[in-house]
Amino acid sequence: MAEKEVIRVERLGFPFATDNPFLFCAHHKDMYPKGERDLGPAVSLSGRNLGNDFVIKNGFRMYHGQRVPGFPVHPHRGFETITATIQGYVDHSDSLGAAGRYCNGDVQWMTAGSGCQHAEMFPLVHADRENPLELFQIWLNLPAKDKLAQPHYRMLWAEDIPVITSRDAAGKARTVRLIAGQWDGKKAPDPSPASWATDPNNHVRVLLIRMDPGAELRIPAVTSTISRNLYFYDGDKIVIGTKEIGPYSRVVLPGGEDISIHAGNARCSLLLLEGEPINEPIARYGPFVMNTPEEIQEAYRDFRLTEFGGWPWDVLDPVHDIGENRFARYVDGHIEERRSYHDTGLEE
């Protein structure tokens, strides 16, 4: 049985490799400095390839941002983005007029569906101290019947996401943050209505896991048909069966077997992505994921003609007011406001 407990181990890249129904996973971890009035870095940006800055310099990247780090306006069609924060702030703005600020354990779930544009900027809200950021962005595919669903944006606030802490037989703690699916009798907040994760028969599960040194965690069997990827992104080692695995590794696991993970001599941080594959052809190019090349061409044509509703903001990289306010403003005008900070227990 031991040889079946690990199908494959490979070194993580940027972005992480994924399996159907997941399309993409990026781990962003940047030590941003103090912020200026415009919420950008209060340091010189000279010598950076601004607009395409993906190389860590002085601890951080600007990505596609020119003044504030992040990702100015860009379009999507045919899939969903799940942005799961661990620490730091994200400002959302989209072509439907929705907007928000979230941080420190909050999760944004956005269905691009038939098409929308959005911007995801990383405002440096603290002028008196550094602004560390850590988050995952995960792309989840949509089946053909929902590729052109109405775009939808939902916030899963940190205080509404189950955090399940338990202890193994030796008293070592394991903490699971349940972003999608079920775990230990608890259920994650509902995803967007058209999501592949909405149907429990699709067994979509997204977990952020922390394990004390020496702790053991069992992932229960689901089905032999699910894809199951475990991303070990922080710690010294884990052991699964007879296999010792070093940090920054992707571990492909069988979905139909119970899997026991043993942490090494340091605290371990892991991300689990699993779900039934969408057994349909995939055609992807840039920001669009469809089923055929013809549908990709149609997506580009539609975007040129409609800009997916246009861009209602004055700038391509909007950020919200100075401060730590967390909020979501939806297309119907409804506004959700939350307290400025929520200690998730996940940040370093």
Kindly report, residue by residue over 291-302, the tens digit of the pLDDT. Answer: 999 999 999 999
Task: Kindly report the average pLDDT of the chain as a whole number.
Answer: 94
Of residues 122, 68, 66, the one with CA closest to residue 92: 122
Separation CA 334–CA 313 (nearest Å): 18
**Per-residue pLDDT tens digits for 204-223:** 999 999 999 999 999 999 99
Sheet strand arrangement including 227-234: 8-11, 249-252, 227-234, 268-275, 205-211, 173-180, 163-167
User: Is the model's pLDDT at 343 over the cut of 60?
Assistant: no
In the chain, count of helices (H) and strands (E)? 1, 26
| pTM (2 d.p.) | 0.94
What is the C-alpha end-to-end distance of the chain, expressed in Å?
Answer: 36
Helix, strand or coil, per DSSP, at residue 286: coil
Secondary structure of 168-223 in the HEC alphabet? Answer: CCCCCEEEEEEEECEECCEECCCCCCCCHHHCHHHCCEEEEEEECCCCEEEECCCC
Mean pLDDT to the nearest integer, 44-52: 95
Mean pLDDT to the nearest integer, 55-78: 97
**Per-residue pLDDT tens digits for 93-149:** 999 999 999 999 999 999 999 999 999 999 999 999 999 999 999 999 999 999 999
Is residue 82 a contact partner of residue 316, using CB atoms and an 8 Å limit? no
Phi, psi for 292 (deg, rounded to 5) = -140, 155
Separation CA 263–CA 239 (nearest Å): 7
Helix, strand or coil, per DSSP, at residue 35: strand
DSSP 315: S
Separation CA 226–CA 205 (nearest Å): 10
Of residues 123, 175, 132, 141, the one with CA closest to residue 25: 141
Q: What's the burial of 204, exposed, middle or buried (CB within 10 Å: 0-12/13-18/19+)? A: buried
Percent of the chain topping pLDDT 70 = 96
Any idea of the CA torsion for 341, 342, 343, 348, to the nearest 10 degrees? -60
Question: CB count, 10 Å around CB of 335?
Answer: 10
Q: Which runs of E-coded beta strand occur in 77-193?
A: 79-87, 89-94, 99-103, 107-111, 116-121, 131-141, 152-156, 163-167, 173-180, 182-183, 186-187
Mean pLDDT to the nearest integer, 164-183: 97
